[in-house]
């Protein structure tokens, strides 16, 4: 499966964590992934408009699973669903995120993949009103 890394500085946010990389289901990691996805969508005027008008709500990361864990490198690859309501109707789309430990900072780096697919689905929902 091809992964496309989200461009720009928003792709990498740091999650405070002591003692190594946080795990895939860590609440701070999931909130960081949501923030990365939502802020990227809201960079587009139509995306910001969806959120400002309250058409998109209740965003969450769900159905989290660890797909790989390299103990030597202290990294995780995670698969999950980015779930949200569009006009009150539940929607969901698969995303992947990777977690790496930044030794010099003692933090977990979160990189999210699949944001373009989320943007495409939201744009289709906005255009066709489903």
* 26 within some domain: yes
pLDDT digits over 50-109, tens only? 999 999 999 999 999 999 999 999 999 999 999 999 999 999 999 999 999 888 888 889
* 74 within some domain: yes
Q: List CB contacts of 92: < 8 A, sequence separation 6 or more.
A: 62, 81, 82, 83, 84
Q: How much is the pTM? A: 0.83
pLDDT digits over 29-41, tens only? 999 999 999 999 9
Strand pairing report for 75-86 and 56-70: antiparallel
* 5 within some domain: no
**Beta bridge partners of residue 40, listed in sequence order:** none
* 130 within some domain: no
* 2 within some domain: no
Q: Could you give the residue ranges of the DSSP H alpha helices within 4-84? A: 27-41, 45-52
The enclosing domain of 42 has a CATH number of 3.10.450
User: In total, how many domains does the chain have?
Assistant: 1
Which residues span the domain enclosing 40?
Answer: 11-125
């Amino acid at each position: 499966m091809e992964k496309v890394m989200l461009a720009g500085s928003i792709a990498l946010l740091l999650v405070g964590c002591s003692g190594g990389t946080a795990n895939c289901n860590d609440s701070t990691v999931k909130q960081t992934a949501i923030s990365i996805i939502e802020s990227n969508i809201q960079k587009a005027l139509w995306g910001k408009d969806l959120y400002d008008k309250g058409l998109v709500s209740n965003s969450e990361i769900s159905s989290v699973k660890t797909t790989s864990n390299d103990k030597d490198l202290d990294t995780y690859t995670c698969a999950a669903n980015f779930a949200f309501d569009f006009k009150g109707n539940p929607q969901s789309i698969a995303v992947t995120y990777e977690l790496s430990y930044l030794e010099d900072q003692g933090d977990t780096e979160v990189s999210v993949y699949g944001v373009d697919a989320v943007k495409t689905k939201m744009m289709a929902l906005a255009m066709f009103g489903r």
